[in-house]
Structures are given as C-alpha cells and as structure tokens.
Copies of this chain bind each other. A is one copy, B any other.
Amino acid sequence: MLRVALAMVPEVRQLLTEDPAQLSDLLDEIHDEDLADLIGLLDDAEAAKVLMALKAEEAAPIFERLDGETQEALVEQMGIESIAPIVSEMAADDRTDLIEALPDQVSGTLLSTLEKVDPEAAAEVEELAKWPEDSAGGLMTTDYVSVGIHLKVADVIERIRAVGEDAETIYYVYIVSDRGHLIGVVSLRDLLLASPSERLADVMTENVFAVSPETDQEEVARTMAKYDFNALPVLSADRKLLGVITVDDVMDVLTEEQSEDMQRLGAVGPIEDSYFKTSFWTFIQKRAPWLAVLFVGEFMTGEVLRRFEHDLEAVATLAYYVPLLISTGGNSGSQSSSLIIRGLAVGDLRVGDWASVLVRELGQAVVLGLILSAIGMLRVWLWGDGTGFVLTIGATLMAIVLMGCTVGAMLPLLLRRIGLDPATSSTPFIASLVDVLGILLYFTIARLFLSDLLAQAGAGG
C-alpha cells in the first residue's frame, strides 16, 4: 500500500531543497492517505517542511491521517504557532483525539492558542472531549448540516451549498427544532430526487435511528453495518442532536475491534499500532502477562499428575497419551469458544441462550467424540498397547471432547455474564481448565479399564 508514497519520496526531497513553493502543485492530485504515508517516510524535519509549504486546509486532511506518535513529533517540531491553523482545519473528531493524546502541557497551550485563532474549533473540542474515546461520543463529529423544519427542498439544497464545505458529510441533513432537538433526517439523495418546491417536512423521515453518546463503538459499527447507514446521529437523553458518526470512522472501528479480538484469542493484549510501528517493549508488555498467567495456570497439570504418581511409575505407557489427550480437549474447546465468542461479538447470540447453546454443543460433541474415538482406538491397537489401553483411550476421548465443548462454550457466556470480555478472558481459563480436567478424566478412566495392569505392576514393582 506504500507504493505511491515510496515512489514520491525522492522528488519531494528534491523540491524541498530546491523549490518548496512547487510542492503544493505536485501533491494536489495525490490522495491524502498516500500523502500521510509519504509524511511517515520522511524524517520529522522534512515532514514539518512539507506541511508548512501547504495551505492549512491542504495540510489538515493529511495531518489527520497520521498516527498518534508522528502527530506528536510534528507538533513539537513545528511549534504551536505553526500547527494551530492546521489543527483548526482538522475534522472536529480528529482534532479532539489529537489534543487528548498530547501531553497535558502541550495540549493546554495548543487549546488556548486555538481559542484565539478559531474559538469555534476550540469549543467543539471541549464538547467532544467529554466522551470516552471508544464510545459513540468519541467517534462523532459536530461538523454536520442541520436546518430548521420550515424550509422547502430547494432552500435545503442551497443551505448545503453554503455550509457544505466544512461539513464532514453532506449526504444527510438533520432537521432540528429551535431548542436543538432532532425532528427528522433527509438524505441528499431524497432531496435531489424530490421536487425543489416540496416542503422539507414532506420528504424527511421522522423515525430516525440514533444512538446515545455512551453507546460502545463496536455496537455503533455493527448497527451501521447491519442497516447500511452512511451516517448515524448521536442524541442526548432528551433527544438533543449532539453529533453525527460517519461511515469512514466506523470502518476503522470494525477493523480495530477485530484486530483486538484476534489478538485476545491469541492471548496478546490489544495492540493499537501496526506490527512494525509497535515498539519492542510494548510487545513484551502485551505478551508477558498473558504468557505468565497461562504458565502459572498450567502448574495445575503438574499437581494433578503427581497425584497419579504411582500409576505413572507402574505403567509408563500412560504418559505417552497425555499430550494427545489434553491437546484434543483443548482443540474441541477452542472450536466451541471461537464460535461462541464470535457469536457474542456479532450479536448472533446472548447469554440467555446458554441452554440451547449447551444442547447444541453436547450434540456435536457426541458425534465429534465418536469420530475421534474410532480413529484413536485404531491407532492404540496398531501401537500394540493392549485392549485395556484401546478401551481407556476410546472412553477418555469421548469424555474429553464432551468436556472440552462444554467448557469452551459455557465459559465465554459465564464471563460475559459477570461483566468480563469473553475474548480476553476465555483463553487462559479454558486452556488450564481443559488440561487439568482432561488429565483427571484420563487417569480415572484408566483405573477402570487398566485395573489389572496397574495392580499387577504395582505388586511387581
């Protein structure tokens, strides 16, 4: 994806030293996203020069797209006075994110400079900063188009022409009362397809889908994806219009939340930046605690095996099957848990469905257990460990798959029930629990089918 940016670096460097005034023309036809990639490839001093060679309204959409670290470095490099005009041209939500990410002292100076340069932009930041970053309030922008209800379609289109330049989306127009309450919404599509003389009240939709500013960003994203919304209004408890969430921000949320879920399933804490931008110590911080928790949890397997010390000493063959059996429990458990965790994330199933989930998982476990038992018993027979082992392994596999599917399906639901994130917390619990229970099942069943062998060896030893 960096192709375009990489190709431009030499030319940009040359212009920077020879004729910076021409930069604006060169960069005019390039997408802001590619220009952001380009800035990321330059060193901070060069990047600052490029941004300063552009007009503030050209620099702002590029600056918006840079990652947090680069933004901070550039604020320092360019100084508050040079960056403030660019910041004032940024989209309100990105501007707020930037100011919240800066060290307190810098953000204070920037905000007070902004109050002088563009008081409205500073006020927007104060409004948006009230909400957590991962809520609807943190995603929304205040740069939307709103109108009163007593207009005709043609007037609304005129109004879009007048104020649309600064709006983040003009594809929806929100109709609000004098006191700021949302009355309805109309899409630009419907406005254009209606007759110019029609009354706005006749073309708008009153039944507006909206969220509260506290709504979690993942729920916002799923709602917009389900209903194919391009924008979604955010309302206060008394239905005042606070802001609007646009689809481009939501696509980033979908990708971000999905990355987090996958990392959690892999027992890694959520990592915000891309692989190569994440520092060594960040990786260690995100990996070491989980790895250590899983490790300590697995101590239990040692404890349990020690309980069967005599059996293991009597019949060493018992030890050969331990990894096979516990990994099978783990695999069937992680199949179930990945299905359930995804179902919870996408909204397909809820905690209240636990009984029907359990019935389905047990049903599947019976079939899966039978298949693995058949293969396993054949293998044991081929190894020549005797009928006792054939029966032990067959029965244990059945029991372990039933146990794995039950634990894998029920634990995420239980964790969600007590308010924990199932994606984060399931893996370590399931892994340790399934291993320990697997070993217990194995040796208990072995004592049943191998009693002769164990007694014999015990007597002989």
CB within 8 Å of B: which A250-278 residues: 250-252, 254-255, 258-259, 261-263, 265-268, 271, 274-276
Known interface pairs A291-B332, A298-B327. Does A266 touch B346 (Cβ–Cβ under 8 Å)? no
**Distance, CA A212 to CA B275, complexed state (A):** 28
- The yes or no answer to A21 lying at the interface (CB within 8 A) is no
- The yes or no answer to A458 lying at the interface (CB within 8 A) is no
Docked-complex contact B305 and A338, CB < 8 angstroms? no
**Distance, CA A298 to CA B326, complexed state (A):** 10
Docked-complex contact A372 and B322, CB < 8 angstroms? no
Q: Which residue of B lies closest to A338 (CB)?
A: B266
Q: Which of A77-85, A232-240, A279-287 binds B? A: A279-287
Q: Which of B31, B193, B227 contacts A33 (CB 8 A)?
A: B227
- The yes or no answer to A396 lying at the interface (CB within 8 A) is no
- The yes or no answer to A388 lying at the interface (CB within 8 A) is no
Docked-complex contact A252 and B266, CB < 8 angstroms? no
Docked-complex contact B157 and A192, CB < 8 angstroms? yes
Q: How far is the CB of A8 from chain B (nearest CB, A)?
A: 13
**Distance, CA A353 to CA B250, complexed state (A):** 30
**Distance, CA A324 to CA B431, complexed state (A):** 11
**Which of A164, A228, A334 has the most C-beta atoms of chain B within 10 angstroms of its own C-beta?**
A228
Docked-complex contact B284 and A367, CB < 8 angstroms? yes
Copies of this chain in the oligomer: 2
Known interface pairs A288-B368, A298-B328. Does A227 touch B31 (Cβ–Cβ under 8 Å)? yes
**Distance, CA A252 to CA B228, complexed state (A):** 9
Q: Which of B188, B298, B371 contacts A292 (CB 8 A)?
A: B371
Q: How far is the CB of A308 from chain B (nearest CB, A)?
A: 9
- Residues of B contacting A323 in the complex (Cβ-Cβ under 8 angstroms): 298, 301-302, 305, 322-323, 326, 435, 439
Q: Which of B252, B276, B324 contacts A225 (CB 8 A)?
A: B252
- The yes or no answer to A224 lying at the interface (CB within 8 A) is yes
**Distance, CA A326 to CA B319, complexed state (A):** 14
Docked-complex contact A368 and B287, CB < 8 angstroms? yes
**Distance, CA A224 to CA B251, complexed state (A):** 9
**Distance, CA A347 to CA B356, complexed state (A):** 39
CB within 8 Å of B: which A188-245 residues: 188-189, 192-193, 205-207, 209, 222-228, 230
- The yes or no answer to A354 lying at the interface (CB within 8 A) is no
Docked-complex contact B288 and A367, CB < 8 angstroms? yes
**Distance, CA A31 to CA B165, complexed state (A):** 30
The 8 closest A-B pairs by CB, nearest first: A266-B338, A228-B248, A274-B348, A301-B323, A225-B251, A319-B319, A275-B343, A258-B258
